A and B are shown apart, each in its own frame.
Chain A
Amino acid sequence: MTQSLIFEISSENRRASTIPKVDVPAQQVDKLIPAKYLRTQPVDLPEVSEVDLVRHYTALSSRNFGVDNGFYPLGSCTMKYNPKINEDMANLAGFANIHPYQEQNTVQGALQLMYELASDLAEITGMEQVSLQPAAGAHGEWTGLMMIRAYHESRGEERKKVLIPDTAHGTNPASAAVAGFDIVTIKSNEDGGVDLDNLQQHLDNQVAALMLTNPGTLGIFEKNITQIAGLVHQAGGLLYYDGANLNAIIGKARPGDMGFDVVHLNLHKTFATPHGGGGPGAGPVGVAKHLVPFLPVPRIEKDEDAYYLNYDLPLSIGKVKGFYGNFGVLVRAYAYIKSMGREGLQAVAENAVLNANYLMHSLKNYYHLPFDQTCMHEFVLSATNQKKNGVRALDIAKRLLDYGYHPPTIYFPLLVDEAMMIEPTETESKETLDQFIKTMLTIAQEAEDNPELVNSAPQSTVISRLDEVSAARKPIVTWKPDIE
């Protein structure tokens, strides 16, 4: 059955809400604003009753799959459980119902929370200071790169190049381009790490920074990191840490100790805040001492008796967004750190890495493992064995839907053919992993015996594979009454 759109269940004069009354003497509208500025027709919005509204969005929610529905081993996305208590905490009136421009003495609790969160994140990453403002990982990258640019400019240097490994997330080169840099791609070596010869060839006085994810997107720790940091710094460049994979090393190692100058974190990954179907996230950015003057305004500081917002920072890059960041997300991350504590955070990395190695070890006899070594929080399989029977990574992903799983990240990183990137996280039990292993083995068998079955998956979802080519060729991006 086709799911109706809310506009299609709309009926004239129905309503789902009451509007506060005009309790002042009302005036004629066009006496207040001349008619030429006014709409002649009301905005075409749905007209539904409250119960219609509830049933519609409840029906939609049942056509959606979240971490609460089942296992979500989506590589590099860290789809861990989102604690319920954190939702309650973010919805406390003292956090949800405060205006960003209230006098600072009326929001001391909020400022204290942000101050303490920034300090904890600085400690976790080994950086000097952290700004909580960026709204997402990519926004944090761009903020960090604008600081790197300001740093070089303050030294009278205009460095135009940013080096990025071929395994990097797409946001890295995109953010560097938006920050005005030219991008140079660095090759990977046969262990999946940075090819040092290739790196050295590109290191010159034009290099502003090297952006690195460690562990990288293959789930492998870059063991030459100290040497890489030395080479980049020697050339006058800075080292940027993409924190997408921090879950692997939290409490075990710190980017600051590895020589990174700028770090961004994804609170919606490592710090258990929900992904929200695409957002909101939060992408705090931490810096080493020499970059502190360039942090965005305002910075949250503390004197003897109060927390305050400091805008008086002459070298700051300025504003990266409105107000102070995705505060509601920050509240959740703060509550998470408090719940986990020092030892709990360490246990996160330990169990995330153990779970990943356990899965990798159990699956590698059935699926090709191009980089066969101890992994960190994730690993990359390849469907090349299955491809011989005409079954591709996409098909395996779709078949997993039939078994009630969210599939792994597929076709990334780009250097692995038919890649399937698997990240179990620490919030999954051994039983869940064992069941997933069993399913993956079943699918491997199906790919041998009945490839057609896998290729035609999914069968059990509310809709089968969609025609994405037509969607892009003749885009329909809004509903109009005449469609259909």
Chain B
Amino acid sequence: MGHRFIPNTDKDRIAMLKDLGIDSVDKLFEVIPEGLRIQDALHINDSMTEDELVSHMNKLANRNTTTDNNAIFLGAGAYDHFIPSVVKHLAFRSEFYTAYTPYQPEISQGILQAIFEYQTMISNLTGLEVVNASMYDGQTALAEAATMACASTNRKKVLVSEAIHPEANDTLRLYCKGQSIEVIEIPAINGETDLTELASLITEEFAAVIVQYPNFFGGIEDLQTIADVAHSKKALFIVSVNPIALGLLQSPGELGADIVVGEGQPLGNSLSFGGPYLGFFATSKQFMRKLPGRIVGQTLDGNGKRGYVLTLQAREQHIRREKATSNICSNQALNALLAAIYLAAIGKQGFAELANVNMQKAHYLSERLKAIKGIEMPYNMLFFNEFVIKLPVEIGYANQKLREQNIIGGYDLGKVDVALENHMLIAVTERRTKEQMDQFVSVLEACI
């Protein structure tokens, strides 16, 4: 039977087999020892026609509650931002998405130039000069920042704030275990990295001090002070950032960060149940040859025409094998393309406005909640678009009540730390309306 993704017909196969001087495709598989060839068919379903597939997939998709029909106040590392229509139209042109890694630059100038532009935008955002073509996500980018810092300083310990994303913390620990790097935690106090603890922990054994900005609880850390502490012991300063916040906040690069990484999902990538996202990765010029992953560079062709190539490949696994700076090969190029087109679509003024809208709305909601008796604001922190409240009831209960009103509530912090039971982490993006926030407030008010 013919299959729509396999063009060979029986006639074609017979002609090809004849050319090979054999009478059956099975002959070609005789190079596999007989005992290893599958005798019975696989236990996989029969093929579906395209219309059967569509109804099957719709059935599954419809079992999920989406952000289209529900106002979502959940963030914690993945955010519901508005994506202008042009972004997907352009990134999903099939010349881009059906292409391989641009190892043949003459027929890959499109993606190479787009990534060069992406690198420039991320550099301008983070305040550091060198950017790679992307990592798998924010968590792995942070982990590889730590291992890069160790390789660059010949030290085998890192100091990491307790106030980073718990999954980033876990991922970092596994990468560090692989490389026999010791991870020491700087405790958080009142939702922020404890600077007194940091000062007493730091020694010249540490390759890096690692914080998140704004941190997992939404707090804006004092980067300048932390940078000075790290640099006093010649440790590198690594900051994981929410890129949208950088529309308002000073860039970590200007405040002394040596490596800036982050989750790029807020930049034009769908929530998509956690992936694919992208990790962005920026550093200063002096560490350019220590960077993991692909980098696009500008050069000239034989006629003096400007063009782009993958460069500094001597760092990478396909050249350097076990001596490579990282094992990363496939990255998240298409997600980086989405991020670049998103940033260009939002633009210079729009990006500042966007950050402001996020901050204004989050502060409005925070003020409203603060005014309700029974709701506590446990941390007195500066914040951008995410903050923590404490309820006198279980978060699971509150979220269930919210669900009944088509609202997806905040993140239950009790899931990561029993000491934070009844604490909810709330994210407010530009998509939340005053009406939705007022409703959020009244549901919470009613359930306490």
Contact = CB atoms under 8 A, between A and B. Distances in A.
B41 to A, nearest CB: 5
Interface string B325-366: 011111111110100010111111111111011011101100
Interface in B378-433: 382, 384, 399, 403, 408, 411, 430-431, 433
Contacts of A478: 116, 119-120, 123, 129-131
B99 interface: yes
B104 A407 contact: yes
B216 to A, nearest CB: 12
B106 A98 contact: no
Contacts of A93: 61, 66, 68
A430 interface: yes
B28 A354 contact: yes
Contact of A68 (B16, B95, B113, B350): B95
A188 to B, nearest CB: 16
Interface stretch (A202-210, A230-238, A245-253, A381-389): A245-253
B326 A178 contact: yes
B84 interface: yes
B408 to A, nearest CB: 6
Interface in B122-177: 123-125, 129-131, 133-134, 136-140, 147, 165, 167-168, 170-171, 173-175, 177
B32 interface: yes
B273 A99 contact: yes
Interface string B287-318: 01000001111111111011111011110111
A258 B32 CA distance: 10
Nearest to B170: A319
B341 A53 contact: yes
A406 interface: yes
Given A45-B124, A107-B273, A278-B331, A177 B324 contact: yes
A123 B43 contact: yes
Contact of A362 (B17, B19, B99, B276): B19
A171 B361 CA distance: 46
A464 B303 contact: yes
Interface string A15-32: 111011111111101001
B246 to A, nearest CB: 7
A45 B123 CA distance: 10
Interface string B217-237: 000100000000000000000
Contact of A14 (B68, B91, B305, B347): B347
Interface string B267-294: 0001111111110000000001000001
A329 B63 CA distance: 19
A177 B327 contact: yes
Nearest to B366: A32
User: Which secondary structure characterizes the binding site on chain A?
Assistant: loop
Contact of A328 (B28, B46, B82, B270): B270
Nearest to A469: B299
Contacts of A109: 59-64
A274 B136 contact: no
Given A37-B250, A53-B345, A361-B20, A43 B124 contact: yes
A61 B95 contact: yes
Nearest to A359: B16
A69 B274 CA distance: 31
Contacts of A99: 67, 72, 74, 78, 80, 271, 273, 408
B322 A98 contact: no
B341 A136 contact: no
Given A2-B305, A17-B346, A335-B53, A102 B110 contact: no
A173 B28 contact: no
Interface residues of B, number: 201
28 contacts: A2-B305, A5-B120, A16-B346, A27-B363, A46-B343, A82-B97, A92-B58, A98-B64, A98-B66, A106-B403, A142-B327, A276-B97, A276-B334, A278-B100, A279-B332, A280-B136, A318-B174, A319-B170, A324-B275, A328-B272, A338-B48, A339-B5, A340-B3, A342-B41, A342-B42, A471-B297, A478-B129, A479-B120
A175 interface: yes
A67 B63 CA distance: 34
A253 B32 contact: yes
Contact of B301 (A137, A278, A464): A464
A124 B44 contact: yes
A327 B123 CA distance: 28
A226 B34 CA distance: 12
Interface in B77-102: 77-78, 80, 82, 84, 86, 88-102
Contact of A252 (B15, B38, B322, B337): B38
B319 interface: yes
A77 interface: yes
Contact of A19 (B124, B302, B357, B359): B357
Contact of A69 (B25, B95, B288, B346): B95
B43 to A, nearest CB: 5
Given A33-B382, A429-B7, A472 B124 contact: no
Contacts of A95: 61, 64, 272-273
B276 A329 contact: yes
Contacts of A337: 44
Interface stretch (A284-292, A343-351, A440-448): A343-351
A471 B309 contact: yes
A43 B246 contact: yes
Interface in A115-132: 120, 123-124
A275 B99 contact: yes
B51 to A, nearest CB: 10
Contact of A58 (B29, B93, B345): B93
B350 A98 contact: no
Contacts of B98: 66-69, 82, 274-275
A180 B178 contact: yes
A343 B1 contact: yes
A479 B437 CA distance: 41
Nearest to B411: A101
Given A43-B124, A94-B61, A277 B100 contact: yes
A10 to B, nearest CB: 8
Nearest to B44: A342
A33 B249 contact: yes
Contacts of A476: 297-299
A323 B78 contact: yes
A16 B66 CA distance: 27
The 10 closest A-B pairs by CB, nearest first: A94-B61, A323-B274, A341-B47, A109-B63, A64-B110, A276-B334, A66-B98, A100-B274, A278-B333, A280-B276
Interface string B239-254: 0000000111111000
Interface in B164-221: 165, 167-168, 170-171, 173-175, 177-180, 220
Given A3-B109, A95-B272, A354-B25, A19 B353 contact: yes
A412 to B, nearest CB: 8
Interface string A455-484: 000100111111110111001111100011
B171 A321 contact: yes
A351 B7 CA distance: 9
Contact of B64 (A107, A325, A344): A107
Given A101-B411, A138-B317, A345-B44, A64 B99 contact: yes
Given A19-B430, A322-B167, A135 B140 contact: yes
B136 A136 contact: yes
A272 B5 contact: yes
B117 interface: yes
Contacts of B100: 72, 74, 77, 79, 275, 277-278, 406
A83 interface: yes
A16 B344 CA distance: 8
Contact of B263 (A17, A45, A322, A461): A322
A26 B180 CA distance: 50
Given A62-B110, A109-B61, A280-B335, 16 more contacts: A10-B348, A43-B352, A50-B86, A82-B97, A91-B88, A95-B64, A112-B63, A138-B327, A174-B322, A253-B38, A279-B330, A319-B174, A322-B171, A339-B47, A346-B42, A477-B129
